[in-house]
Amino acid sequence: MPRSRERPRFAQVARDLLAMTKPRVVLELLITTVAAMFVAARGFPDLSVGISTVTGGALCAGAAATFNGLYDRDLDRLMQRTRGRPIPADRLSVKTGWGWGSLLFVASIAVLAIGVGSAAAWLAVGAFAIYVGVYTLGLKRRSPQNIVIGGAAGAIPPVIGWVAGAGTLDWSALVMFTIVFVWTPPHFWALAWVRRTDYERAGIPMLTVVRDEASVGVHILAYSVALVLATLVLTPVNHMGWIYTAAAIILGILFLQRAWVVWRERTAAAAQRLFRYSITYLTVIFVAMVADVAILGMA
């Protein structure tokens, strides 16, 4: 086959393999991981440990996303948001997906075990098991609490980062876990509100499908309050300074305001605004942790 035809095919396969890992989600997880690692170490951690943590974390998250896509390929074909993914669109075979996901998972555990330690590796295994086993295989098609329980998987990366930076676990790691854990439901329910028709078509019992809008709004608001409280708890637990505390208060007020509007207006437009802000919120709150330690803690 001429090279001019081989190269486009190779490039497309590479793009599809990358797409299977949901790189945007992986990036968000890595932000929480790196921030927790920096805060735990009170500065820059050992370079080799840092590289291994980021690499292993990215590989594990990518593996989990790949297996999620493999199992949910029938649902993805029914949903407008996901039907263009590599396997539903028949650009990649299921066999290729299994091989790719397995390679990523094995590599991730090896990198974390060798470069960071057994604790980080086992935490990654736990996150993978929750996302693939508990959420994808167990709850997604059966329970409206799927994203609540399954959200624990996305809350483990900052714990891995903390272990990498401090070498052990403490209450600060648990608070960071809690922040991401309670952030996940309002973030994802806001998206599910906007995409409710998609989830109905696929038969997925998201909260926005099985409960009325008033009930969903109350759930979103309740978890938003829990989120803001969790971010404030980190200040006394980890002795954070005014930079982080001010950011937590201001960002939290804005989050609550958007959640309140969702509950009051009960519209897809309000849910869309909350969803978009929630992504910025999580990034900035963890960046604020780093800024607090870098500017105040290392002064």
CB neighbours of residue 89 within 10 Å: 15
pLDDT, one tens digit per residue, over 115-169 is 999 999 999 999 999 999 999 999 999 999 999 999 999 999 999 999 999 988 9
Do 94 and 192 lie in one domain? The reply is no
b/e code 153-174 from CB counts within 10 Å (16+ = b): bbbbbbbbbbbbbbeeeeebbb
pTM of the model: 0.93
Residue 167 has phi, psi (to 5 degrees) of 85, 0
Do 181 and 126 lie in one domain? The reply is no
pLDDT at 186 over 90: yes
Within-domain flag for 2: no
pLDDT at 236 over 50: yes
Do 250 and 299 lie in one domain? The reply is yes
Domain count across the chain: 2
Query: Residue 212 is encoded by which pair of tokens?
Result: 């009325």
Where residue 298 falls among pLDDT bands split at 50, 70, 90? low
SS (H, E, C) the chain: CCHHHHHHHHHHHHHHHHHHCCHHHHHHHHHHHHHHHHHHHCCCCCHHHHHHHHHHHHHHHHHHHHHHHHHCHHHHHHCCCCCCCCCCCCCCCHHHHHHHHHHHHHHHHHHHHHHCCHHHHHHHHHHHHHHHHHHHHHHCCCCCCHHHHHCHHHHCHHHHHHHHHHCCCCHHHHHHHHHHHHHHHHHHHHHHHHCHHHHHHHCCCCHHHHCCHHHHHHHHHHHHHHHHHHHHHHHHHHCCCHHHHHHHHHHHHHHHHHHHHHHHHCCHHHHHHHHHHHHHHHHHHHHHHHHHHHHHHCC
Do 159 and 213 lie in one domain? The reply is no
Q: Which of 167, 196, 224 is the last residue of a domain?
A: 167
Where residue 1 falls among pLDDT bands split at 50, 70, 90? very low
Cβ-contact 139, 194 below 8 angstroms: no
- Closest Cα partner for 161 from 60, 244, 276? 60
Do 13 and 136 lie in one domain? The reply is yes
Give pLDDT, residue 81. Answer: 86
Q: Domain residues for 154? A: 7-167
Q: What mean pLDDT comes out for the span 242-270? A: 97
Tell the residue number behind the tokens 């170490």, with chain if given: 41
Do 161 and 25 lie in one domain? The reply is yes
Do 135 and 219 lie in one domain? The reply is no
Within-domain flag for 1: no
Query: Residue 185 is encoded by which pair of tokens?
Result: 């439901």
